[in-house]
Amino acid sequence: MADDVFDLDAVYAAERATPFEFRWAGRTWELPHMEDADIEIVLEIQQKDEFSIDDILALFPRMLPEGQREAWQRVQKPSRALTRLFSQWLDHSGVSVGESSGSGDSSESTEPKSAQTSNASTESGSAKPSHPRAKKTAGRRANSST
The CA distances from residue 82 to 24, 52, 57, 63, 139, in Å, are: 10, 10, 8, 14, 18
How many whole angstroms separate alpha carbon 90 and alpha carbon 3?
A: 38
User: For 8-20, what is each residue's pLDDT tens digit?
Assistant: 999 999 999 999 9
User: For 55-110, what is each residue's pLDDT tens digit?
Assistant: 999 999 999 999 999 999 999 999 999 999 999 999 999 987 544 333 333 344 44
- Residue 1 has a pLDDT of 52
